A and B are shown apart, each in its own frame.
Chain A
Amino acid sequence: MAQFEGYERREAKILATLKEYGISSIDECKDICAAHGVDPYTIVQETQPICFENAKWAYTVGAAIAYKAAEKTGDKSAATAAANIGIGLQSFCIPGSVAENRKVGLGHGNLGKMLLSEETECFCFLAGHESFAAAEGAIKIALNANKVRKKPLRVILNGLGKDAAYIISRINGFTYCKTKFDPYTETVRVVEQKAFSNGPRANVKCYGADNVPEGVAIMKKEKVGVSITGNSTNPTRFQHPVAGTYKKWCVENGVKYFSVASGGGTGRTLHPDNMAAGPSSYGMTDTMGRMHSDAQFAGSSSVPAHVEMMGLIGAGNNPMVGMTVAVAVAVAESFKK
């Protein structure tokens, strides 16, 4: 039987959602997926090995909903499956939590949908480069999204610090892009590229910027269409300023850009502005995200426990992007068998 963290606080809402799709239990979701030869539980575990049990079940529930919805509407595309997986994720949001408030579950589904739609050409993990977690999401997207897309999706990591970008590329088999920024023209050029593997992982380009203007120049150079910010150390000095500045440029120049604010500071009072003094509200990280984002998540980009605290599930927001894409693609592919 399905057992996971916070079961009793989640059960009623999950079952209510499942009922709308004619499913009577969480275990039945597993059977529905198994009948199609798809195992979301394992896909999720592979994406982020330290994730919680509830993350694995949430994607199982989401995939089952995707199957039922596809039966009903006949729309068997991966993009639609991603959006429907979001309905499953949303059912896991604890009532009254930040995650439920901000509809983070649905947001993850819709983000996955965007990445699987042809209109999106480049997806960027706007990272702090503090951890390998953005990479965990990027790997899954790189390995899966292009199975169902006609035009390949370009995936990049854009973060603060060139040394960190190099090491993250090396550990994950990405292509490290060494750049030189010209502060007078605010343009950037790639001076060296080093692929750390031969497979699809090498299609993920990883950039390290010295500062915000270089970060913005990288966004322009790569024509980023969708991005997700993340991580806890650098959001107020890199990710949000880069996203906001690029957003302004996009608005002025008629470029389509969908910005998702995520990471450790979202949904909390804590983080880099924090002097533990003076009146409290949302912290500066959350506030900056509100200023530029089209959708706002809650909780850490990498730490499962911190996303769980926001009432969603125990998985980092960045790995979750990869999970959504991987499970949605698996669902869509299973129809072809």
Chain B
Amino acid sequence: MSQVSKKPYATSLEVEHQCVVEKGCNHGPAPLPEEGKWVQAKEISDISAYTHGVGWCAPQQGACKLSLNVKNGVIEEALVETIGCSGMTHSAAMAAEILPGKTILEALNTDLVCDAINTAMRELFLQIVYGRSQSAFSEGGLVIGAGLEDLGKGARSMVGTMYGTKEKGVRYLEMTEGYCTRMALDENNEVIGYEFVSLGKMTDFIKKGMEPNEAYEKAKGTYGRFKPEDGAVKYIDPRKQ
């Protein structure tokens, strides 16, 4: 029952016969804080920010943290971090190539091959179009490279791997600082510190020509009360003991 009129869209006869009730308000959307400016975002190209999204797959066996640096709607930098599934590391390899250069709207409709990464992209989209970002109040936004900075020295992801049982207690396997080599226990056999080797630093030393054993020792560090004078009575290898 539509008819062609001078308006860009066809209207039904019922609507055509209605009288006009004026719309009084027209404030536009609430402005988003973006890179130090307040922007009334109407188009995808109005979106600029550095932010994160976290996603998971249907069986929840793996998770992805996605960080994008978006300028004028286009992904300029992508950091894809995954945990818990070997396959998704390959999906991440592809996603890190596929995502840069796309608009964030395009990125939604691109199969990123892995549930967790797709979900992270969805969550990141919501965050960014609603103005939730790391760079909301940083003038000019964050430089391309902020994603790498996020990883810190040695450019490795911050991963925590801890394990515990009722019978045998807790084991620290991987901390921010690196691979946990030993845990220190006090006289009650409670954890009071740990020793780690920074895999990023160690590898960098070896690449520069240092002997592996020397590099291993040099990349080691401790946290908490690790020395005997700090109360350490026993040391255990968290993977073997």
Q: Which residues of A contact B (CB under 8 A)?
A: 5-6, 9, 49-50, 52, 94-98, 101, 132, 167, 170-173, 196-197, 267-270, 274, 276-283, 304-306, 308-311, 314
A276-B130 in contact (CB<8A): yes
Nearest opposing residue in chain B for A135, CB measure: B224
Most A CB atoms within 10 A — which of B29, B132, B225? B132
A132-B149 in contact (CB<8A): no
Complex A-B: 16 CB contacts under 8 Å:
A49-B177, A96-B138, A96-B139, A170-B192, A171-B224, A172-B224, A197-B225, A267-B137, A268-B134, A274-B127, A279-B131, A283-B132, A305-B152, A309-B134, A309-B149, A310-B138
A269 touching B136 in the complex, CB below 8 Å, given contacts A170-B190, A196-B231: yes
A97–B141 alpha-carbon span in the complex (Å): 9
By a CB distance below 8 angstroms, the chain B residues around A167 are 191
Stretch at the interface among B1-9, B30-38, B95-103, B202-210: B30-38
A173-B30 in contact (CB<8A): no
Chain A nearest CB: distance from B236 CB in Å? 16
A192–B155 alpha-carbon span in the complex (Å): 44
By a CB distance below 8 angstroms, the chain B residues around A95 are 139
Selected from A98, A269, A306, A314, the residue in CB contact (under 8 A) with B132 is A269
Most B CB atoms within 10 A — which of A97, A101, A276, A314? A276
A170 touching B33 in the complex, CB below 8 Å, given contacts A197-B231, A309-B146: no
By a CB distance below 8 angstroms, the chain A residues around B150 are 305, 309
A173 touching B231 in the complex, CB below 8 Å, given contacts A97-B139, A305-B149, A308-B149: yes
A274-B132 in contact (CB<8A): yes
B138-A280 in contact (CB<8A): no
Asked if B126 lies at the interface with its beta carbon under 8 angstroms from chain A, I say: yes
By a CB distance below 8 angstroms, the chain B residues around A274 are 127, 132
A278–B131 alpha-carbon span in the complex (Å): 9
Chain B nearest CB: distance from A91 CB in Å? 17
**Which 6 pairs show the lowest CB-CB distances between chains A and B?**
A96-B139, A280-B131, A279-B30, A171-B224, A276-B126, A269-B136
B137-A268 in contact (CB<8A): yes
By a CB distance below 8 angstroms, the chain A residues around B82 are none
Nearest opposing residue in chain A for B224, CB measure: A171
* 20 additional A-B residue pairs with CB within 8 Å, beyond A50-B177, A196-B231: A49-B177, A96-B140, A167-B191, A171-B191, A171-B224, A196-B192, A196-B225, A270-B132, A274-B127, A276-B126, A276-B132, A277-B126, A280-B130, A280-B136, A281-B33, A304-B152, A309-B50, A309-B146, A309-B150, A310-B138
Q: How many residues of B contact A (CB 8 A)?
A: 42
A308–B225 alpha-carbon span in the complex (Å): 28
A14–B126 alpha-carbon span in the complex (Å): 38
A277-B130 in contact (CB<8A): yes
By a CB distance below 8 angstroms, the chain B residues around A306 are 134
B130-A309 in contact (CB<8A): no
A98–B142 alpha-carbon span in the complex (Å): 12
B134-A270 in contact (CB<8A): yes
A97–B136 alpha-carbon span in the complex (Å): 10
By a CB distance below 8 angstroms, the chain A residues around B32 are 280
Chain A nearest CB: distance from B240 CB in Å? 22
A108–B123 alpha-carbon span in the complex (Å): 35
Chain A nearest CB: distance from B48 CB in Å? 13
By a CB distance below 8 angstroms, the chain A residues around B139 are 95-97
Within 8 A of A (CB), among B209-240: 221, 223-225, 230-231
Nearest opposing residue in chain B for A168, CB measure: B224
Nearest opposing residue in chain A for B132, CB measure: A269
Selected from B136, B153, B225, the residue in CB contact (under 8 A) with A171 is B225
Asked if B45 lies at the interface with its beta carbon under 8 angstroms from chain A, I say: no
A305–B146 alpha-carbon span in the complex (Å): 9
Nearest opposing residue in chain A for B140, CB measure: A96
A98-B138 in contact (CB<8A): yes
By a CB distance below 8 angstroms, the chain B residues around A49 are 177, 221, 223
By a CB distance below 8 angstroms, the chain A residues around B186 are 170, 196
Chain A nearest CB: distance from B187 CB in Å? 11
Contact digits for B149-179, partner A, Cβ 8 Å, 1 yes 0 no:
1111100000000000000000000001100
Asked if B135 lies at the interface with its beta carbon under 8 angstroms from chain A, I say: yes
Selected from A9, A132, A269, A304, the residue in CB contact (under 8 A) with B133 is A269
A203–B104 alpha-carbon span in the complex (Å): 52
A79–B126 alpha-carbon span in the complex (Å): 46
Chain B nearest CB: distance from A247 CB in Å? 24
Nearest opposing residue in chain A for B135, CB measure: A309
Asked if B62 lies at the interface with its beta carbon under 8 angstroms from chain A, I say: no
A311 touching B138 in the complex, CB below 8 Å, given contacts A197-B225, A281-B33, A305-B150: yes
Asked if B193 lies at the interface with its beta carbon under 8 angstroms from chain A, I say: yes
A171-B152 in contact (CB<8A): no
By a CB distance below 8 angstroms, the chain A residues around B231 are 173, 196-197
Nearest opposing residue in chain B for A9, CB measure: B143
A197-B230 in contact (CB<8A): yes
By a CB distance below 8 angstroms, the chain A residues around B177 are 49-50
Chain A nearest CB: distance from B94 CB in Å? 26
A132 touching B132 in the complex, CB below 8 Å, given contacts A50-B176, A173-B230, A309-B142: no
Nearest opposing residue in chain B for A305, CB measure: B150
